[in-house]
Chain A
Amino acid sequence: DTAVSQTPKYLVTQMGNDKSIKCEQNLGHDTMYWYKQDSKKFLKIMFSYNNKELIINETVPNRFSPKSPDKAHLNLHINSLELGDSAVYFCASSQDRGTGEAFFGQGTRLTVV
């Protein structure tokens, strides 16, 4: 039973399109995250939600909008996709903000052509 699952696993789309990536966790965690891993393999946090409330919003373009319909789901919607958005996007969840370990999904490889 997958703890943190993301769909789709691969996404190839044209510049200018709008796309969404979905994430679900079945761990009962209160906090969920989106991370971006670029071609140089650096992992950077984008957003974090705690109990459906946005608590971390790093310097990410407004074209990226997270949505949390409930605390088990955190979706990422991207408008007007650009070539530079090509990356692997990881969803994660954790129980608390302090010591707790985070569980990551398998990633969504987004390629913008």
Chain B
Amino acid sequence: DAKTTQPNSMESNEEEPVHLPCNHSTISGTDYIHWYRQLPSQGPEYVIHGLTSNVNNRMASLAIAEDRKSSTLILHRATLRDAAVYYCILKRNDYKLSFGAGTTVTVRA
């Protein structure tokens, strides 16, 4: 499985933006970049995904580097409910989501 590297943890203040980096230097041309998050005591939840272009949805934005070797998940205004573990995953066309250790996001009130 192609590997991603994320910081272990990040802290943010409520209502401020959060930028979560992810490095994936071994990404192949057909790998999609997926982000999931896991709130405490819940199952993982899909956040966003992209291939080459930047993507926006109601939860977050995904900025993908031009060489695709890194990406950044942007939470525009963090709330206490955004405290979770965020996983950056390279998904191939093979049914499998391979989770790493993720980034634990703490939001301060």
> Which residues of A come within 8 Å of B, CB atoms?
4, 31, 33, 35, 41-45, 48, 50, 55-56, 90, 92, 94, 97-99, 101-107
Q: Which of chain A's residues have a CB closer than 8 A to the CB of B41?
A: 107
A-contact bits for B65-98, CB 8 A (1 contact / 0 none): 0000000000000000000010100010111111
Contact A104 to B44, CB < 8 A, known contacts A41-B85, A98-B32, A99-B32: yes
A102 touches B42 (CB 8 A): no
Contact A104 to B43, CB < 8 A, known contacts A42-B101, A98-B32: yes
A97 touches B94 (CB 8 A): yes
A43 touches B95 (CB 8 A): no
Q: State the majority secondary structure of interface residues on A.
A: strand
* Total number of residue pairs linking A and B with CB closer than 8 Å: 56
Q: State the majority secondary structure of interface residues on B.
A: loop
A106 touches B43 (CB 8 A): yes
Q: Looking at chain B, what size class is its interface with the partner chain? A: 20 to 34
Docked complex Cα distance between A85 and B41 (Å): 18
Q: Which of chain B's residues have a CB closer than 8 A to the CB of A55?
A: 95
Contact A104 to B32, CB < 8 A, known contacts A31-B95, A97-B95: no
Q: Which of chain B's residues have a CB closer than 8 A to the CB of A107?
A: 41-43
Q: Which of chain A's residues have a CB closer than 8 A to the CB of B34?
A: 101
Q: Which of chain A's residues have a CB closer than 8 A to the CB of B11?
A: none
Docked complex Cα distance between A42 and B38 (Å): 12
A102 touches B46 (CB 8 A): yes
A2 CB to nearest chain B CB (Å): 11
Taking A48-B96, A106-B43 as given, write out 17 further A-B residue pairs in contact, using a Cβ cutoff of 8 Å, ordered by the A residue number: A33-B97, A42-B101, A44-B99, A48-B95, A50-B95, A55-B95, A92-B97, A94-B95, A97-B95, A99-B49, A99-B91, A101-B46, A101-B49, A104-B43, A104-B44, A106-B42, A107-B41
